[in-house]
Amino acid sequence: MQRPVVLHFSRLGLIIVVVVEGLLIAIGAIGTLLVVFGGFAMDVRLRGILAALALGLSGSAAYYLRKIYRAAFDGRLEIDSPDSADTLLAATTIYLLGRPLMSIPLSLAASLALVLTYTTVAPSDISPTENIVYVLGAAGFLTGFLGGRVIEQIESGQGV
């Protein structure tokens, strides 16, 4: 059994992390809307991959924002004094801001795997429709949201 992780923040650090996580969620959602409904003249597979990346970023930021408030509810969130220069403050901030950015390559890998699977299985005379954008977007969100668990399993050596 893993010991519960205590998150250490200064007041300003907590505010910054929560605001940035919220912005990452909004950027991912707005990026998805622009890709899906923006009317850009690009290949549907590329639009699907871009939607997956945007939703992956949004999903991962949502996961780590959730991690903050769950820690607060579980009594595992410690607000340190503003003048504390503890390394745990910096580590917590970097952890929660850096992990959503790690969702981008995971979402890219998942969307490329889906596109390559579709391309290999589908007959050559059938081209993907607009629906692939939605499928890849949903896969990107799930990859981003659950990417934290995948990264933790890879780090612990348990495999995926």
Q: How confident is the model over 44-74, as pLDDT tens digits?
A: 888 888 889 998 998 888 888 888 888 887 8
The phi and psi torsions of 28 (rounded to 5 degrees) equal -60, -45
Domain boundary assignment for the chain: 7-156
Low-confidence stretches of the chain (pLDDT beneath 50): 1
Q: How far apart are CA 85 and CA 42, in angstroms?
A: 49
**Taking the model in full, what pTM does it have?**
0.70
pLDDT score for 1: 47
Report pLDDT digits (tens) over 87-99.
Answer: 667 777 877 888 8
